[in-house]
Amino acid sequence: MNIQKVESSLVKESYYVIEHPSGLTIYVHPKEGYRSAYAVFGTNYGSVNTKFRVDGGDIITVPDGIAHYLEHKLFESEDGDAFVRYAATGADANAYTSFEKTCYLFSCTDKFEESLEILLDFVQSPYFTAQTVAKEQGIIGQEIKMYEDSPDWRVTFNTLVGMYHNHPVRIDIAGTVESISEITAEKLYDCYNSFYNLHNMVLCVAGNVTPEQVIAVADKVLKPNKEQTVENIFDDEPYEVAQEYIEQKFPVSIPMFTLGFKQNAGKGAKSAKELAYMNILMDIFSSSSSRLYNEMLTEGLINDTFAYEYMEGPGYAAILFGGESRKPKEAAQRIKESIVKFKENGIDTQEFEIARRAVYGTAVRSFNSNEKIANNMVDMHFNNRKLFDYIDACANASVSDIEKSLEEMLDPNNCTLSVVCSEEHNI
């Protein structure tokens, strides 16, 4: 078993990386003086992974929404529900599926080992039958309809539909009522056996724990997996957006908008440095202290809901700006004009330094939260980044670094504006 300690002299933090004999990579970040602990057990498998092959075999195509469906079903076993088991330890457990990963998690203040044993056990113990699979369709069908009725989700999701021609990121994470009706126990096992291999997973723990505690539970519960290669298959995706404008009517009091900038995702995930530079750049555009934010706020183009989001995964990458606006088209135009001006005139040194310090401060403060530490380690692992490299990049970034990032990441001629507004609004 290989155990490595990783330290940062800059933030005086450290964590351990453990290559367990089972094939699982484990990260442990002890926090001295903390009473609670937080654990995430994740697999590099999300809603976009609907066409794949294992070890060069036949191509397997599965219904949209199956990763999310599998997440729901994995809590069940022949012996009962995992949540019932957690009730005995007092842990607060949950799970989520995103476009690119599925994670199972818990937080606790005591009985950590018992809770971790539950987590590792039920995720490794799939139990699917025709009857249990059918039972879930109504529940997830209601969840799908709930998202369809959410203007916040629709304005964001419609942006992805507008940006992408073929990539499955344009399909709802939960799928559709029609697609989930095609899910069977056999298909769930196909996905589980392909992606829930410990070599494709990670366990990240932070808080009142030691590496020895985590290793002891891992040695007891983990079932060694044979390493395999999963090839995800995606249709070709053009660089250009599919649609420049999408509008959907919803009974909202103030129109909502999302302006999405599609990026060339062919080279894979951003490095830790690139991610740090991008966040500094986005702070210059969208933080409440930025010049652009305050000008748009003063002119009534946005309100305090304005923010940005970065999305990346296999075959896709995009930066999204959005919020409420009574003039969404004007707000979007102002953002695009500002990009052009920044590219022509460069980034103001003072604005850069304010943003750099803000992003660095946010990164440092994240080490006060067990939840943020563990989830950041999951993201860093699946994207081949190192946690402290991001901190170092935030501390040492220069104006020229951010200007280069601007050239590469924001193309005002390749974006989609999504608007959700009521019938009364004339956009």
Tell me the percentage of the chain whose pLDDT exceeds 90.
89
Question: Considering the entire predicted model, what is its pTM?
Answer: 0.94
Average pLDDT of the residues in 51-60:
96
Fold classification of 245-421 (topology level): Cytochrome Bc1 Complex; Chain A, domain 1 (3.30.830)
Write down the pLDDT at residue 149: 86
Domain limits, CATH 3.30.830.10, in the chain: 2-232, 245-421
pLDDT tens digits, one per residue of 187-236: 999 999 999 999 999 999 999 999 999 999 999 999 999 999 999 999 99
Write down the pLDDT at residue 192: 98
Give the separation between CA 315 and CA 300, rounded to whole angstroms. Answer: 36
Query: Which residues are part of the catalytic machinery?
Result: 71
Task: Tell me the two tokens of residue 255.
Answer: 């129109």
Q: For residue 267, what pLDDT band results from cuts at 50, 70 and 90?
A: low
At residue 315, φ and ψ (nearest 5 deg) are 85, 5
Exposure string for 352-364, b = 16+ CB within 10 A, e = fewer: bebbbebbbeebe
Q: For residue 80, what pLDDT band results from cuts at 50, 70 and 90?
A: confident
Give the separation between CA 335 and CA 12, rounded to whole angstroms. Answer: 38
pLDDT tens digits, one per residue of 279-327: 999 999 999 999 999 999 999 999 999 999 999 999 999 999 999 999 9
- By mean pLDDT, which of 56-70, 78-92, 95-109 is the weakest? 78-92
Closest to 283 in 3D by CA, of 172, 353, 394, 359? 359
pLDDT tens digits, one per residue of 26-45: 999 999 999 999 999 999 99
Fold classification of 2-232 (topology level): Cytochrome Bc1 Complex; Chain A, domain 1 (3.30.830)
Write down the pLDDT at residue 139: 85
Give the separation between CA 319 and CA 422, rounded to whole angstroms. Answer: 26
How far the first Cα of the chain sits from its last, in Å, is: 61
DSSP 8-state secondary structure symbol assigned to residue 270: P
2 burial (CB, 10 Å; 0-12 / 13-18 / 19+) is exposed
Q: Letter for the amino acid at 241?
A: V
- Mean pLDDT estimate for the chain: 94
